[in-house]
A and B are shown apart, each in its own frame.
Chain A
């Protein structure tokens, strides 16, 4: 009380000054907010008719933290919560469709954060995909919806379709332990109360979630908006999903003989119908959160088995041998979104432009049509079944060709401890698979899908963030002996089975050699795809260029104009493991697309398990084909027709989450009122001073020099 007003003000200023001069002080923003780094966000996707996923408001959604660990917490929030809006923080086991719907309809929830530190137990099942993945595409085009497995409701029994709903609030996923701990501490210190009313009188721990999405309504609308670009809105609102398929043939196919000693293998110019066997697997998966799509069973098991099979087949068939039959290896992108990759290949095949657009002046692979496809074998969701359990072959066709091939598979599999059970064709019922796209166009393709599930998926984490290394039971052997009961050994045996069977199909004779798939290669492949994408195999394949980081790959297909790391690395790995060495040096090791589209030349390490081994130029038939849905190629395509995939992904400016202390309501009111009062006072002050300006400001000024400064020296100021 004995301090004068001016003393208080100067003290205050001094404190401010000291504070701002302090070397360790940070910006105010950093003192108020704790950024939650590494949070994964749910975003918006659209198809021809609807929007799916999440979006926040433009400036982000703010809510008071409420941790939901059990039903009681959720009930409390819905019926008692007074300090809303809230952000519900939930564990994976509580992150269910019913809870999300309850929160959404309560109107009190502004966002949801799922937290999970790795030590916590995984829920028993967690799949946000539909019970019938790709319900409206594939064979549904031909027969109407076919998804039912016996009496059960669908292939993916635990599917909740949360991925296929439009949520009104942002959803984030936080895995960082220290952030989760801070969140808990902050919650327990500030938000945990005995009576709901108490929350109104306290500063509360709150979260701000920013995941504003530019696109809305459906793909048709947002693609149109991309074209209405004016001076003030030049950003795209959405981009088509897609990428590149990886394809390769066992024997080179060429319209011209290249000669000049360029043909390492004798190439084929014409093919009979049904002479190209296809070995296919999908290369993508999905989950609810951006950048976190592990897909161990969903995609990786198929990719690695296919690569290892291809590598074995190339080793089994000597370079100079030539046969009438060929094998096409296909790794498809975007299959999770109504079969983008396969539908584009089928479209191109019908146009006569697969694998490349015909050009008589260039040596190139001749077009492959649907009629050329012999047996079509798809690897879908492989894992090691329980002891003594078989893998299952699903098929629609009952022709002798299919049956013969299955017999060969079974014979080869039995010798290798891979029993294969033939699921007799059920009526128009095939598990979701790329094969469906081909069958929808040509129903008599002798196709089969090799999976580990007899009926419904046994993978309880289909299309989710938990389809990770643990669900394959994979332990990296790191160049040591791979145990025989491991997933590596099992998948290697599956590869051997398929390779031996394809050998028999191509050459018409049983394989009598001793080559089998390399378990250590399988171990390394799984390590690369599941754990560390800068592994030595990928490093060898991209010859030390900087692709890859020390983390698992994410298998989301992404937008079509960005080439996903998965397809780049998969293509490179295929080429590395199957290519033929040439004598070219580094400068000559490049493609000449104007004369030769048959081969690609890549500069790689000569040994896959040693990235520092001497470099060599490999010639390979591996190549990429566009995996952009025909919907975005065909002029004037009707996006609502449902014929082709119309999936697009919204553009977003940022995905961020941060935590802060939100003052109680009364304090916010006081601050606002204070601000208004100060504003009013300053207006009044100006009005008052303006009215008395002649008295207040230098009375004689008008008679003297008007431009004379009012304040000349310090003396005058204080006099």
Chain B
């Protein structure tokens, strides 16, 4: 969808929907929302809905960032310590590598 061709009220609706849906453990949705509406929120000529869109875009951006940080820490921890964790490490694994510890 080309955002430049969408009415401002519709923009706000979509942005709000994405920001709210992101709470359902969907960080990627937040990330998309942030990138997609960044221009509409910060660089476009002012329009009435912009303030609210700005708020949702910021929320999505910060949320996505927090997720990225948390996931990175977890992935590094898991990848480096899974073998040490032994049985517990295996029990939380979805795919266990074949042929290695």
Spell out A's residues near B (CB within 8 Å): 44, 55, 58, 212-217, 221, 224-225, 228, 230-233, 237, 650
Contact = CB atoms under 8 A, between A and B. Distances in A.
Contacts of A58: 98-99
B4 interface: no
A231 B95 CA distance: 9
Given A55-B99, A216-B98, 8 more contacts: A58-B98, A213-B98, A214-B98, A214-B99, A228-B91, A228-B96, A232-B94, A237-B98
A55 B101 CA distance: 13
A216 B99 contact: yes
B45 interface: no
Most A CB atoms within 10 A — which of B90, B95, B98? B98
Interface residues of B, number: 11
B84 interface: no
Contacts of A216: 98-101
Nearest to B91: A228
Contacts of B87: 224
Contacts of B98: 58, 212-214, 216, 237
A215 B96 CA distance: 11
B96 A233 contact: yes
A20 to B, nearest CB: 37
B94 A212 contact: no
A522 to B, nearest CB: 45
A278 B1 CA distance: 85
Contacts of A231: 94
Interface in B44-101: 87, 90-91, 93-96, 98-101
Contact of A215 (B93, B94, B95, B99): B99
A220 to B, nearest CB: 10
Contacts of B101: 216-217, 221
22 contacts: A58-B99, A212-B98, A213-B98, A213-B99, A214-B98, A216-B98, A216-B99, A216-B100, A221-B101, A224-B87, A224-B90, A225-B90, A225-B96, A228-B91, A228-B96, A230-B94, A230-B95, A231-B94, A232-B95, A233-B95, A233-B96, A237-B98
A60 to B, nearest CB: 12
Interface in B23-63: none
B68 to A, nearest CB: 25
Contacts of B100: 216
A121 to B, nearest CB: 36
A498 B72 CA distance: 73
B97 to A, nearest CB: 8
Nearest to B95: A232
B54 to A, nearest CB: 31
A232 B98 CA distance: 12
B98 to A, nearest CB: 4
CB-based closest 7 A-B pairs = A214-B98, A213-B99, A232-B95, A217-B101, A216-B100, A216-B99, A55-B99
A47 to B, nearest CB: 16
Contacts of B91: 228
A221 B96 CA distance: 12
A58 B99 CA distance: 8
Contacts of A55: 99
A413 to B, nearest CB: 52
A242 B1 CA distance: 64
B90 A228 contact: yes
Contacts of A44: 99
A216 B83 CA distance: 12
A216 B97 CA distance: 10
B78 to A, nearest CB: 16
B90 to A, nearest CB: 6
Contacts of A215: 99
Nearest to A56: B99
A636 B89 CA distance: 20
A228 B88 CA distance: 11
A230 B95 CA distance: 8
Contacts of B96: 225, 228, 233, 237
A57 to B, nearest CB: 8
A556 B91 CA distance: 34
Nearest to A57: B99
B69 to A, nearest CB: 27
A395 B93 CA distance: 52
A484 B15 CA distance: 98
A232 B96 CA distance: 9
A212 B97 CA distance: 12
A45 to B, nearest CB: 13
B94 to A, nearest CB: 6
Nearest to A44: B99
B95 A212 contact: no
A215 B101 CA distance: 9
A215 B87 CA distance: 15
B100 to A, nearest CB: 5
Nearest to A212: B99
A694 to B, nearest CB: 16
Contacts of B93: 228
A225 B95 CA distance: 11
B46 to A, nearest CB: 30
A55 B91 CA distance: 25
A216 B90 CA distance: 13
A395 B57 CA distance: 86
Contacts of A232: 94-95
Nearest to B83: A217
B21 to A, nearest CB: 25
A21 B13 CA distance: 58
A185 B99 CA distance: 35
A684 B94 CA distance: 41
Most A CB atoms within 10 A — which of B90, B95, B96, B100? B96
A213 B97 CA distance: 11
Contacts of B95: 230, 232-233
